[in-house]
Structure 1
Amino acid sequence: MKVAIVADRIGWEERRLIDAAGARGLAAFWLDDGDLCAGPAAEGVPPADLYLVRSRGYTRSAVLAGLLGDRDERVVNTAAAIAICQDKLATARALHAAGVPVPPFRVVLTRRDLARALGELGLPCVLKPILGGLGRRVLLIRDRDLADAAYDYVEQFAGGFDRVLLAQPFLPGGDERAFVVGGRVVAAYRRVAGSDWRANLATGGAAERIDADAELTALATAAAGATGAEIFALDVLRDAAGRRFVNEINHVPQFRGGAEATGVDLAAAVLDHLAGHRTVA
């Protein structure tokens, strides 16, 4: 079985996937997404039995997954799933429609929207673009003066989708991540903020293993059904009362920190799923 890893670069995760594939008798190789020059139905893309799309660009992954899907290849994740997961508003809409709890939010298109959102959601408030990852460009607004100053940058420098923002209340009860493969949680951990208020590992947060209880498992299953994603990281926030809300879904999850914190071979879990085997976490 030939597994093509479509990505813009080879990072720790991609190297682990290639190594794990070799240990299972699979042939995994990197396809540089910047060197494909794909035509209709992905003409020109080298053949494989399965394409694992791990391009980090917000449009690159969806474009290539769509072209590969046009020639009826098995693609993980599909273009339809990527389109939902890469857009934070699309994710919230899909989850809300499926009855999955999401943080309250307001769409901010203007300075007037921002003022009203702060009044309705209260402070502190989180303000973020609908496209983005690793906690970048996410602001914690603690006072109205800062909110107004931050919006100056949006008006002056943002373009396209960066002008569409989501405002949501800051939920202080905890930050959890579940690594989901085939609708099943294979590892879960709590993310603890370091010197930065954001708990993302990319911003200096730390990871602590937790058990995937029935509620977290149910949220992961429901999220998989709502988005159609096979492999993803489920980001869950808790409010002060301990209630869980699905905040975001990452369709190209970085998993080095999660693997190290939990001791679970997440690359092996991914490859076993793709090959049709079941990994016991």
Structure 2
Amino acid sequence: MSNRKIGMWLYKNGGGDKIGKKIIKKLKERDIDVLDDINLRHAIAKNAHIIYHGEEHRGEKLDKLDLFFSYNAGEQTLYQMYLYQALNRIIPMINTYDSFALTEDKFHTSFVLRNNGIKTADYKLCHRDDGHELKKIIKKWDKMVYKPTDGWGGVGLTKIESEANLDMLMPFLNQMDLRYFYVEKFINYDNTDFRVDIVDGKFVACYGRKASGTDWRTNVTSGGSVFIREANDEVVNIAKKACKATGVDIGGVDIIYDRDTEEYIVLEVNGIPAFATPEQEKMGLNFNNKKIDLIVDLIDRKTK
């Protein structure tokens, strides 16, 4: 009987290359072979097959794999995601394309979370021609955040603190030829968040992120810093519910505490939450091995 075989595309930076080797080694111990570094950017679809054309594994029919594990946020292309969707129609994926696409869209994520009883920031999605609605909202909310519905790392987030701010922003947004505007009520919080990692419905770890003194965003790519932070039961349960609602096998849930309403708010569900970097491991974030073991268990179960 031949071994099970999966494809994997895991980020290499920030210690990701070593993480990938550990995953491959543990899967090999379970008789699961891995085609590593399979970037769908280098694949073509031909009739009933998706064929890989990279330097390694050239000619492999990816639709014949037992599973594909995609875990690379920084190098995605529209072509790669299009084939991701097609491949998931034939074989199992981690995360599924549907859950990946959902969590990539901030409006759809908030919409689904709210309909599953999970508290998010109040939001408004309106057509680009309904700019007057935004003026009504800023008067009601006092402060709000404009968010691109896609993207990650805090890129494009704009805090709007007055109607004058909005008047300055609107011409810029109109130049971008957006079809719609998505805004959220600005939450009064302490400029820190919880990042809670969940794999296969199980709690992996929690750490905190803190915005820099000159910014309100906690994202590390926006100048935020990571610190050790313990999770409480309420935060963990909220994260598990958010991952279940969005359908992700692996999720990192960003949660803040609203000081006005005294409740926890889910800001985002990240379908590709990073492992701890070597620098973060030195400061005490030691969840990588637990996360690797849970991912290996998940792959093992999904390919049986």
Using structure 1 for the length normalisation, give the TM-score. Answer: 0.85
- Spell out, residue by residue over 1:236-266, the C-alpha distance to the aligned partner (whole angstroms, 9 max, x if none): 1211144101111111223345953522116
Match of 1:271 in 2: 295
- Secondary structure at the counterpart of residue 226 of structure 2: strand
2:187 to 158, 164, 170: 170
CA distance in 2, matches of 1:113, 1:41: 48
* RMSD of equivalent CA atoms: 2.6
How many angstroms does 1:65 deviate by?
3.1
- Secondary structure at the counterpart of residue 4 of structure 1: strand
Match of 1:36 in 2: 43
Match of 1:6 in 2: 9
Q: 1:181, 1:230 within 8 Å by CA — same for their partners in 2?
A: yes
CA distance in 1, matches of 2:80, 2:117: 27
How many angstroms does 1:3 deviate by?
3.6
Q: 1:140, 1:170 within 8 Å by CA — same for their partners in 2?
A: no
- Spell out, residue by residue over 1:122-176, the C-alpha distance to the aligned partner (whole angstroms, 9 max, x if none): 22x211111111000001122321222112111012445xx43223223324311
Match of 1:18 in 2: 20
Asked if residue 236 in structure 1 is aligned to residue 255 in structure 2, the reply is yes
Identical amino acids, percent of aligned pairs:
21
Q: 1:63, 1:79 within 8 Å by CA — same for their partners in 2?
A: no
CA distance in 1, matches of 2:280, 2:203: 13
**Structure having the higher Rg:** 2
Q: 2:193, 2:254 within 8 Å by CA — same for their partners in 1?
A: yes
Match of 2:66 in 1: 49
Match of 1:150 in 2: 169
Identify which range, 200-209 or 262-271, moves more after superposition.
262-271
How many angstroms does 1:22 deviate by?
3.4
Q: 1:62, 1:82 within 8 Å by CA — same for their partners in 2?
A: no
Cα gap change, 1:88/1:40 in structure 2, threshold over 3 Å: closer, same or farther? farther
Aligned length: 272
Q: 1:135, 1:198 within 8 Å by CA — same for their partners in 2?
A: yes
How many angstroms does 1:61 deviate by?
6.1
- Secondary structure at the counterpart of residue 246 of structure 1: strand
How many angstroms does 1:40 deviate by?
5.8
CA distance in 2, matches of 1:41, 1:176: 44
Identify which range, 112-121 or 40-49, moves more after superposition.
40-49
Using structure 2 for the length normalisation, give the TM-score. Answer: 0.79
CA distance in 2, matches of 1:158, 1:10: 35
How many angstroms does 1:55 deviate by?
4.5
Matches within 5 A, 1:80-159: 80-109=98-127, 110-123=130-143, 125-159=144-178
Matches within 5 A, 1:215-230: 215-230=234-249
Q: 2:41, 2:77 within 8 Å by CA — same for their partners in 1?
A: no
CA distance in 2, matches of 1:190, 1:14: 21
Cα gap change, 1:259/1:23 in structure 2, threshold over 3 Å: closer, same or farther? farther
